[in-house]
Amino acid sequence: MVNDRLTLGVASRLSRYLQVLTQAKRMGKTSISSQAVSEYTNVNPTQIRRDLSGFGKFGKRGVGYDIDMLIGQIRKILRTSGQHHIALFGAGNLGQAIASSGVFGDHGFRIAAMFDVDPEKVGTSVGDLTVRHYTELQRVVAEDGIQVGVLAVPSATAQQIADDLVSSGVKIIFNYSDALLTVPSDVTVHASNPAVELLYALYFYLS
Amino acid sequence: MVNDRLTLGVASRLSRYLQVLTQAKRMGKTSISSQAVSEYTNVNPTQIRRDLSGFGKFGKRGVGYDIDMLIGQIRKILRTSGQHHIALFGAGNLGQAIASSGVFGDHGFRIAAMFDVDPEKVGTSVGDLTVRHYTELQRVVAEDGIQVGVLAVPSATAQQIADDLVSSGVKIIFNYSDALLTVPSDVTVHASNPAVELLYALYFYLS
DNA sequence: TAAGGTTTGTGACAATCCGTTACAAAGGTT
DNA sequence: AACCTTTGTAACGGATTGTCACAAACCTTA
């Protein structure tokens, strides 16, 4: 039971809790109730407590949950407590925004390398990273144990990079481009489109 | 029945289909099967057909769905066929990336205005937008019928902007900062954190 | 024209998930 | 000691989803 695979629903909710907890921590809070988490996630408070109590008794009755502790516990449950290495492709506006934002760092991801093909950009620094030329991909993936590739490039080049990542053994691709990527079935592509999320939000506002 | 509110699940899946359809269209495809959509969304093909068939017979047996037509139908179902106006806050890397990306345009959103407080940035052009000073917020929201505010600003200033948006009557906020925003209950905040989505993807890869 | 393959639209059913209500136990506050 | 808050947990009913199944419609090819 304890070692069971989480269901999609539970894993997705735990991730959302993690997001709120991280934000709350950043705002200086040290403890939070299921009721408060509920307000930020729109997940029923009983559901939240049930999700958590399946893995242990993390809260204090009458008080709530210690934020640091709960973040640690959820990371353990999601088995993502360790360090993970990601490679970022594209040193344009989006790439630079991602590299300098710290969102990945907060969750145990290290941006181990940043690539571009533009000779103007290769060699420059973004935060504490130096932009490398795309031809180093294969070597860097192997040497730095890259597990995730993040694509912040024009759609026209996205598929090529995806192919190269796949042949280097990367199994998770995060695609910010508009391209529809074709990959082998053991590779996960995660695409995120703010406009579509907005449509979804808008629907519930309009009705 | 037809005029019923969509459930969360249906609306969320329809949005995902829309994303894939838009990408597929951009790749030059004109028609797509439920099987193909399933591969990109990880939603069961039967589920997809059932989601759609609740609103009409959009497909051709033996062929699939015409992409343009289906995009139109889903927009109608989501009641987001019209033009919606959004205001973008922050002309830094992320703000510029969003403004020049076209993702919003593809889905019927028009970035009507872009704000910053940095005197160096105010007055400059990003794409076909001119960065305006933040003090114009209230007037622009009223004049241009802004329905959505997108926050691409440092966390420290996010809450202030949210407050000002709320008092101008904006009910939907898209928050890219790390801040945990407090808003009245009739205002929707949508926060998107790539790192958290990555954790979620990673879990299923690791197990 | 006929045969064969593909894909939609749809029904039925079981399994799972989720929201809700309820309540005791534990902690804090006054 | 009395009271309030919040967790942990059980029970139940409803809603959603995955799966199997199959006819009808469309395309391709012989």
Residue B203 to residue B194: CA distance in whole angstroms: 14
| A38 pLDDT above the threshold of 80 | yes
Confidence of residue A105 (pLDDT cuts 50, 70, 90): confident
| A207 pLDDT above the threshold of 80 | no
Cβ A26–B103 below 8 Å, yes or no? no
What is the spatial order of strands in the sheet that B31-32 belongs to? B31-32, B64-66, B59-60
Interface of B with A in 84-143 (CB under 8 A): 84, 86, 92-94, 96-98, 100-104, 106-107, 109
Question: Which pLDDT tens digits describe chain B residue by residue (207 residues)?
Answer: 344 678 989 999 999 999 999 999 999 999 999 999 999 999 999 999 999 999 999 999 999 999 999 999 999 999 888 889 999 999 999 999 999 988 888 888 999 999 999 999 999 999 889 999 999 999 999 999 999 999 999 999 999 999 999 999 999 999 999 899 999 988 999 988 888 888 888 888 776
Nearest beta carbon to residue A190 from set B18, B27, B197: B197
The SS3 of residue A40 is helix
Residue A197 to residue A194: CA distance in whole angstroms: 5
Direct distance between the N- and C-terminal alpha carbons of chain A, in angstroms, rounded to an integer: 41
Cβ B26–A179 below 8 Å, yes or no? yes
User: Which helix (H) or strand (E) element contains residue A131?
Assistant: strand A129-133
Nearest beta carbon to residue B15 from set A78, A98, A196: A196
Average pLDDT for residues A169-191, to the nearest whole number?
92
> What was the pLDDT predicted at A5?
78
CB atoms under 10 Å from CB of B124, counted, come to 14
Cβ B78–A203 below 8 Å, yes or no? yes
The SS3 of residue A84 is strand
Between A and B, how many CB-CB pairs are < 8 A? 187
> What was the pLDDT predicted at B2?
41
What proportion of chain A, given as a percentage, has pLDDT over 90?
A: 77
> What was the pLDDT predicted at A1?
38
CA–C1' gap, B98 and D11, in angstroms: 49
Cβ A15–B92 below 8 Å, yes or no? no
Considering only CA atoms, which residue is closest to the C1' of nucleotide D17?
B47
Q: Which of B170, B29, B166, B24 is nearest to B87 (CA)?
A: B170
Residue A160 to residue B108: CA distance in whole angstroms: 29
Direct distance between the N- and C-terminal alpha carbons of chain B, in angstroms, rounded to an integer: 41
Q: Torsion angle of alpha carbons B101, B103, B108, B111, nearest 10°?
A: -40
Residue A179 to residue A158: CA distance in whole angstroms: 7
Closest alpha carbon within chain B to A103: B195
pTM for the full model?
0.91
Residue A7 to residue B185: CA distance in whole angstroms: 30
Q: Which residue has the tokens 């934000």?
A: A23
Measured between CB atoms, does B78 come within 8 Å of chain A? yes
Q: Which residue has the tokens 């019927």?
A: B108
